[in-house]
Structure 1
Amino acid sequence: VSVFLATLIFCSASYGEESTFEGRWIISLQDKKRVLEGLLEIENINNEWRAYLEGGPVSIEISNNDIVLTADSRDVRGFVFDRKMIGKIDKNIIKGTYTQEGAAAQKEDPGPWRAEREKLKIQKELKPNPSDISGLWVATQQLDFRKYTMALTPNGKKWLENYLPYYDQPDVRCESIGLPALVTYTFPFEIIASEDRYTMIYEYQSKVRRIWMD
């Protein structure tokens, strides 16, 4: 009986430790002087661990307080590689070290990574507070993980099968890279305020955007 109770307590404790991994985490990774940040979601469905980084699936292994995550990414030249993150949980913090695996034009040295539970945000009504946003702007150098493989619908998977990464990128075909990419790119852009509109001039690709306020 004592052996049975000890085994039961051990199993319960082990499951309790592993279950603390579930939830939403803000994950950060240190690569030399730059910091990569993203949202990590971990869930357990039918005793199977699943994890998503920035909405894309990642490989996950959990044993008691230890965790191993492997997430693919794409560097600035389009090469796909993996980051293997090995860590340990301590209450509401996961931390450890990571290594880069696979061929990549932008090499990364092994370094630290950590994740903290996402804090609950209290929604409250904000009073209008107009600000002058005219002037020159440039995106911060704090980057995301550039997650490559994403969770796709059946139609999305079918479309991806015919996608050629080195030929179908918008800028390769002399097309606009899109507003989100223009705003977060390293090239500056200027905002000009007029009486009835804002004009945004982007250095990269010489794009112009106008937002009418009437």
Structure 2
Amino acid sequence: MVENLLQSLGLSAFSLQGFGPLLLQGTWMTLKLSVLSLAVSVVLGLLGASAKLSSLKLLRIPAQLYTTLIRGVPDLVLMLLIFYSLQTWLTSLTDAMEWEYIEIDPFSAGVITLGFIYGAYFTETFRGAILSVPRGQVEAATAYGLKRGQRFRYVVFPQMMRFALPGIGNNWMVMLKATALVSIIGLADLVKAAQDAGKSTYQLFYFLVIAALIYLAITSASNYVLRRLERRYAAGSREAVR
């Protein structure tokens, strides 16, 4: 993958100086981290949006605090706070229950941290998308006798996704780039691999450029997938007719 990318840019595989496998492992780690973090973020986003749209203050107020706090604090600060607080809470729990010491591995910590942070952004994305669905559509589905789960699956969700996809795509791109922050907690992602290769060969700038090109390739592929999804969920809409 790395060698093919470099060859397409006019660079030889030899220019990796034996660090191709390391960069490939870092790329795979970044992709795994991004996809799993996306899954966590989507789940939290749907739950958070439902809570913010709820008529119950017991659900609405915590969801509001969650999105306000997360969006108001830098990602790097949140990552350090969540990573170290998770380990502290887990250590306190194991001490209280007299269990063996459990250490959270950097990968799990990275997934949980990124998922929790970007869950707040997905909450606002889904909330806005749900509000964009015409209320008459839901009322018509209710009149036809559809249950709540059926209304969401067949009426709300398809239309919500049409409005949410631009925001989802933007959040995904930002989160993909934010995975570079996990290197500070010891995870061997693409940035960490590029740094190690650059320091070993005294060509840090060169390998960071290669990492940037790999990120660009991933985001370009993501844009293609997102455009296909937008066309799919726009089927039947005025834009699809155009």
Same fold, TM-score > 0.5, yes or no = no
TM-score normalised by structure 1 residue count: 0.21
- For normalisation by structure 2, the TM-score amounts to 0.20
Larger helix percent: 2
Greater strand proportion = 1
Structure with larger RCO (C-alpha < 8 A, sep 6+): 2
